[in-house]
Structures are given as C-alpha cells and as structure tokens.
Amino acid sequence: MMEQSKWGRATCELTSGEYAHAEFVTITPEIAKSWIELTAYVGRLGLPEFRDLNLKKVEHYADKMRKGEWYLRNYSIGLLKNGAVADGQHRLNAIIQSGVTVTMLVVKNLDKDVRVKE
C-alpha cells in the first residue's frame, strides 16, 4: 500500500514489513558523487557490481543536462538500505560530469535483492 505523507513523501510497505520511501530530491554534483563513492565502497562488501558504465550514455545525459533539456520524469534513483545506489549510475555520473543540479525521483530503503545483474 502506498501512502502520501504530509511532507510529500510516498511510503510503501515491503513484503518484509519495512518501508521504502519515494520523494523528489534536488541532486547536486556533490550529492551524486557521494552516492557513487559510497556504492563503490560498499560494493567491496558483497553487493553486486554495477553494469559497465556506458560513457556515451553518460555524455548524452550530461549534454542534455547542460543544455537544460533534462526533464523531470518517472525514472528513479534507487538507494539501498545502506545508502548504496541500486539504480541510476548513468544519471548520477551525468550529473557529476555536467556539473548541473537536477531534481529526480529517489526511492530509498530498498532491499539489496532489487539489484539484478544483467
């Protein structure tokens, strides 16, 4: 069940009885870098690795962000319970590369099993 809180955060109960939270977050290049760095650190502690970074995709996204052509959409950044990035590495790296602050939907407190290696 998903509920809207008075702070604008949607909360969804997971099968484990815990909750995931979704909210729009203004992501600066510094925030994006800290999430990527944390993910690299905890990745050494047994989490699945990211797919290979597609530099052309990152540059394409970064170019759109620099030109002001990056629009708010339904794609989210997924963060695990430990703060590591589960989904969104290309978008976060584009924010870092472009130097542009972007608002995105962020879903927090996800189980590590949401990361599926393709």
- The residue segments making up the domain with residue 81 are 2-110
- Structure tokens of 99? 């130097």
CATH of the domain at 77: 3.90.1530
- 116 belongs to a structural domain: no
> What is the pLDDT at residue 44?
55
Q: Who has greater pLDDT, 85 or 94?
A: 94
- 69 belongs to a structural domain: yes
Total tally of structural domains belonging to the chain? 1
- 115 belongs to a structural domain: no
- 20 belongs to a structural domain: yes
- 37 belongs to a structural domain: yes
- 117 belongs to a structural domain: no
End-to-end alpha-carbon separation of the chain, Å? 29
Question: Can you tell me the distance from the alpha carbon of 33 to that of 29, in angstroms, rounded to the nearest whole number?
Answer: 6
- 118 belongs to a structural domain: no
pLDDT tens sequence across 12-71: 766 667 788 899 999 999 999 999 998 887 765 555 566 678 999 999 999 999 999 999
- 23 belongs to a structural domain: yes
Q: Who has greater pLDDT, 7 or 62?
A: 62
How open is the CA angle 110-84-75, to the nearest 5 degrees? 65
